[in-house]
Structure formats: C-alpha cells, structure tokens
Amino acid sequence: MPAATLWQRELLRFWRQKSRVLGVVASPLVFWLLIGYGSNDLARFYSGALVLTVMFSAIFSTISIIEDRREGFLLSMLVSPAPRTSMVLGKILGSATLAWIQGLIFLAFAPLAGVSIRPLELVVVAAAILLISFTLTGLGFVIAWRMESTSGFHAIMNLLLVPMWMVSGSLFPMATAHGWVKAIMWINPLTYSIALLNHTLHLPNAAPGALASLVVTAAFGLVLLAASGLMASQKATHSAA
Amino acid sequence: MIQVENLTHTYGGRKALAGVSFEVRKGEIFGLLGPNGGGKSTLFRILSTMMVPTSGRASIAGHDVVKEAAAVRRQVGVVFQTQSLDKALTVDENLRAQGHLHGLSGALLTERIERAVERLGLADRRKDLVETLSGGLRRRVEIAKALLHRPLVLLMDEASTGLDPAARRDLSRHVENLRDNEGVTILLTSHILEEADRCDRLVLLHQGAVVAEGSPGELRARIGGDVVVLESGEAESLAGRIAERFGLPATAMDGRVRVEISNGHRFIAEVVEAFPGAVESVGLHKPTLEDVFVRETGAILE
C-alpha cells in the first residue's frame, strides 16, 4: 500500500502542475517538426522524438528525488516502517506512469508522420511505450539516488543521456553509421527501445529485430529496477538526507 | 525511554560525536542544546534511524536504533528541521499519505487524522494546499503528521527555526500539551535559549560531547547569584585587573568581561569606581543557560 500511495501522490502533483506536460511534450515536438519538415521525412525521426519525450519526463520526475530527500516528502518515508523497496516501486511506478501518459500524448501526433494505427495495434504500441517508460524511469532513479545536488544531474543529462539518445537510431539508422558508432549503437540499450517502437509503428529502420528489441528493453528495465531497490535499501553512514 | 551510550560518529576524519551518553525518561521534554556543528543533528539522524553511528549504542523504547530500526520507526514520530510536507498537496492529503506509510487506512486513519488536526488546531485548514500555509502552521502540520501512528517518542530537530517568537511559543505550548495529555516523550534539538528553558531536562552539547546535564533550573543554579557583563574597549586587560583586585574569575570575550558573583549590584559600583573610564556599559542578569554554556565551554552559544 505505501507504493500505491506514492504512485497516487505523483499523479496528484502532476495534475496540479499541468504546465509540466506542456514543457515535456513541447520541446521534442518542436524538435521533431523542425528536423522532420527540414529533411522532409517526419516518419524517420518520429520514434526518436517519442522516446525523447518519455526520457525527459522520466528524468525530470526522478530528479525530484534529490530535492525531495533533503527537503520534502521522501524524508518522512526514510524514517517510516514502510520497506524501502515499496518506496522505490511507488516512485518508479508513479514516474513511469507520467512518462507513459506524455508518450501517449505524443502518440496523438503519429498521423503527421503518416502512421495510422488500428485500435488493436494501439494496445501493442501503448504497451511498448509503457515498457520504455519503466526502463527510462529506472535509469533516472539509479542516477538520481546517489546524487547530492541537481546540478550534477544536468551534467549527466548532457554528457550521458542526450548522447546516448543521439546514437540510438533516433537521428540516423544503424545501417549507414560508421564502424565505431555502429558498435556503440549495438551496445546502447536505447537503440533497442527505438527499434521496438519502429517495429510496432511499422516505421522503417527497425533494426535490430522485434524480439531482440523487446527482450533487451525488458531486461535493461529489470536490471535497473533491481539496482534501484538494492541502492535504496543500503544503510547510510553519511548524511544521506 | 531513550538510552544513548557512548555514541561516536565520524564523517571522513571529522569527529562529530565523541562518546555521548544520556538517558531520556518517559513523559519528559528533553532538550539537546548547543551551537550549530555541536553534534545535535548527527545525534538526531542516528536516533531517527537515518544514519548508522560509528560506534556506541542507542535505543528507543528498548529497541536498538541500528539492529531494530523497523521497530524503532514504529515507535517514533520525527519532525525534521527542513520541511517534509508535499507543498502541492493539501493538509489532508499529506496526512493521509503519511498514514499509509505507517499501514493505517480507512476509518481508523480518518479518526486519527481528525484527532491530530483537532489537537494541533488545524481543523479548519484541512483542505488547504500546504504551500498556502504560514511557517508556524506548516510546523504544526509536521507535528500532526508525526503523531498519526501514535508514537511513544517524538523527535524534533530545530523545529522552531525560522518561526517568529509568537509562533515559537505557540509551538511550545502544543508540545507541552502532548506531554501532559498524551504522555508522549519528546526529544528536541535547539540552539534557542527560550526553547531550551521550557524543557524538563537537557544536555548541553559542545564539539560532539556532553558538557552539562540537568534541568534548566539545576544548570542555572551552578552559577551562584548574578552575572555581570561589562563592555569595554580593553576587555582582556580589564578582566586581568578585576581578577587581580577582587580575586574573582573574570572572562573576556568579544569585547566583554563576564563575572559571576553573588551580590552583583554592589560589585558593579565597586568595579566602575575602581577602573574609571575602562567600562563602557554595565549589565546585570540572573544566570541563563547561555551563561552555563559559556562557563562550561568558554565558547558562546550562537
């Protein structure tokens, strides 16, 4: 039940700060429209932009852990008998739900990319976005938990997350990439998330294969979830809060 | 109710606690008084199970804070120095979420919330967003939140920081009510004299060690009579001359000479006459906890 409470809290907060939705969806949307119309190929950049939306949302909600733990609701969680794992689960469930909702909002623009989705396919696409939301939220959590200040997080955003997104097939396909970039793309878990979307949306550049994309994305998500739980259960000998 | 035995803690190479021991009895308001950096916050973090001490033991209601952290968390309500409320939620929503963290729900939780808001005079603010409340009201919501699971012990870290004197007195009154009507044991940290004076007993902490322990009255009684404070441009030399002439221990600090003496008013007349021109202003007061702190540590409190 503590997990459900935390989940509900995230949604309530989000609902009361609706301008956040605009902020998160707007920048990938503008980005996508500019590159898409500029290169006259909206379809090619669609999945990448959708993943960017989910990533922004996931990262922004997990960043709040840093502040929340020093001055905020997380403090009382740390001294409550509720198990740490349920805290982690609640936070990740909440943040992932928000990321998912924003991904779905972005999905409404799919017709611009020439994608038409039948009702049954919509379920599959929504499920894929949900899986990606979980994975990226887990990534955000693992990074944010150990961080002392939000300023460090911005450096990680610019030096790790954005480059990671750039070499994930979001901007250029794997097939035409140079050797070492191609190698990075192979080991980049995000490559598989974008391929997964391309598969479910029937968009081009859907490499690696559908099954590999699904398995790698899910496995990456599970590893991050487990790591989050482990990290949060460790006892502090320093001022964690 | 709370036992602290020889507790030490080091951050890297810096010693924050150097063998602290004391005991808090059931149903009392116990204060940890000391300057910032004296070890109060470290002690608070250890007692609230947020941090593991380097060595020593501490237990609350018979449970070890390290080995039985979960049991301790059930018996302890914590009020933090910083805000632990979600500003985007209402008072009610904050309390409800807190109740869930402690496994409370349904009619029981509703009843507990009603009682807590009643007790802390928040009944008409339940539907308000926390961000619209004043600092004093927020502190009261924090306390209401900490009491929902009916803890035996309430730990409060610098709870009155940032409050104006009226809000601070109001907070003290609420805390005293808890002790008197609910039998809650309260441990609070403070660097504010007025607040420490309202404790039943307290320890003075300085550089990670207990320098004095007792009730405010007992501690003040260590200083017989009055405290005379003389402001002087040449405090050091004046202190020396007073010691020589009157055979009294006089300490110079920050351009002031402090003397503890039983008949302060008579001494003032004598000292001003003895050293004409050396004294710029004169003050006389009954001993305060600050005086006790200065006497025990040679340092000032704030």
Q: What is the pLDDT of residue A238?
A: 58
How far apart are the CA of A155 and the nearest CA of chain B, in angstroms?
26
How far apart are the CA of A197 and the nearest CA of chain B, in angstroms?
34
Residues 6+ apart with CB under 8 A from A122: none
In this structure, the dihedral spanned by the alpha carbons of residues B259, B263, B265 and B268, taken in order and rounded to 10 degrees, is: -40
Q: Are A108 and A150 in contact (CB under 8 A)?
A: no
Who among A13, A73, A80 is closest to B85 (CB)?
A73
Mean pLDDT, chain A, rounded, equals 88
The model's confidence at residue A237, banded by pLDDT at 50, 70 and 90, is low
Q: Which residue has the tokens 């004095």?
A: B212
- Whether the CB of A18 is below 8 Å from some CB of chain B: the reply is no
Task: Report the range of poorest mean pLDDT among A57-71, A113-127, B41-55.
Answer: A57-71
CA separation, residue B148 to residues A18, A164, B75, B90, B97 (Å): 31, 46, 11, 16, 11
Q: Which residues of B touch chain A, with CB atoms under 8 Å apart?
A: 11, 45, 48-52, 54, 70, 73-74, 76, 78, 80, 82-86, 88-89, 93-94, 96-98, 100-103, 105, 145-146
- Whether the CB of A158 is below 8 Å from some CB of chain B: the reply is no
Complex ipTM more than 0.95, yes or no: no
Report d(CA B224, CA B40) in Å as an integer. Answer: 28
pLDDT tens digits for B219-275? 888 887 888 888 888 888 888 888 888 888 888 888 888 888 888 888 888 888 888
For residue A90, being part of any structural domain is answered with: yes
Report d(CA B102, CA B82) in Å as an integer. Answer: 21
Who among B51, B73, B78 is closest to A239 (CB)?
B51
Cβ–Cβ pairs < 8 A, chains A and B: 85
Does B23 score more than 60 pLDDT?
yes
User: Region B25-33: what's the mean pLDDT?
Assistant: 94
Nearest CA in chain B to A77: B101
- Buried/exposed code over B106-120 (b: 16+ C-beta within 10 A; e: otherwise): eeebeebbeebbebb
Does B96 score more than 90 pLDDT?
yes
Write out chain A residues lying below 8 Å of B88, CB-based. 12-13, 16-17
For residue A238, being part of any structural domain is answered with: no
Write out chain B residues lying below 8 Å of A76, CB-based. 78, 80, 84, 98, 101, 145-146
User: Region B72-87: what's the mean pLDDT?
Assistant: 90
Q: How many domains does chain A have?
A: 1
What residues of chain A, 81 to 100, have a C-beta less than 8 Å from chain B? 81-82
Domains, chain B, ordered by start: 2-215 (3.40.50.300), 224-286 (3.30.70.260)
Report d(CA B258, CA B294) in Å as an integer. Answer: 10
Q: What is the pLDDT of residue A142?
A: 92
Write out chain B residues lying below 8 Å of A80, CB-based. 73, 98, 101-102
Residue A188: DSSP 8-state? -
For residue A239, being part of any structural domain is answered with: no
The model's confidence at residue B47, banded by pLDDT at 50, 70 and 90, is very high
Report d(CA B216, CA B219) in Å as an integer. Answer: 5
- Two tokens, residue A196: 């997964």
Q: Which domain holds residue A29?
A: 2-233
Question: Over B233-257, what HEC string results?
Answer: CCHHHHHHHHHHHHCCCEEEECCEE
Backbone φ, ψ for residue B48 (5° rounding): -90, 15
Whether residues A237 and B93 touch (CB distance < 8 A) is answered with no
**Integer distance in angstroms from the first to the last C-alpha of chain B?**
30
Does A195 score more than 90 pLDDT?
yes
Does A240 score more than 80 pLDDT?
no
Write out chain B residues lying below 8 Å of A13, CB-based. 86, 88-89
How far apart are the CA of B273 and the nearest CA of chain A, in angstroms?
55
pLDDT tens digits for B266-284? 888 888 888 888 888 888 8
In this structure, the dihedral spanned by the alpha carbons of residues B144, B145, B149 and B151, taken in order and rounded to 10 degrees, is: -70
Q: What is the pLDDT of residue A205?
A: 75
Work out the burial of residue B211: count CB atoms within 10 Å of its CB; fewer than 13 is exposed, 13-18 middle, 19 or more buried. Answer: middle
pLDDT tens digits for A108-138? 999 998 888 888 899 999 999 999 999 999 9
Q: What is the pLDDT of residue B13?
A: 81
Given 3-state DSSP classes, what are the helix, strand and coil percentages for chain B, each rounded to the nearest 5?
40, 30, 30
Nearest CA in chain A to B89: A13
Does B142 score more than 80 pLDDT?
yes
Who among A6, A71, A237 is closest to B82 (CB)?
A71
For residue A241, being part of any structural domain is answered with: no
Order of strands, sheet of B14-24, starting from the edge strand that comes earlier in the sequence? B14-24, B2-11, B55-60, B63-64
Residue B83: DSSP 8-state? -
pTM here is 0.81
Whether residues A16 and B52 touch (CB distance < 8 A) is answered with no
For residue A100, being part of any structural domain is answered with: yes
For residue B237, which of B255, B220, B219 has the smallest C-alpha distance? Answer: B255
Whether residues B101 and A238 touch (CB distance < 8 A) is answered with no
For residue A155, being part of any structural domain is answered with: yes
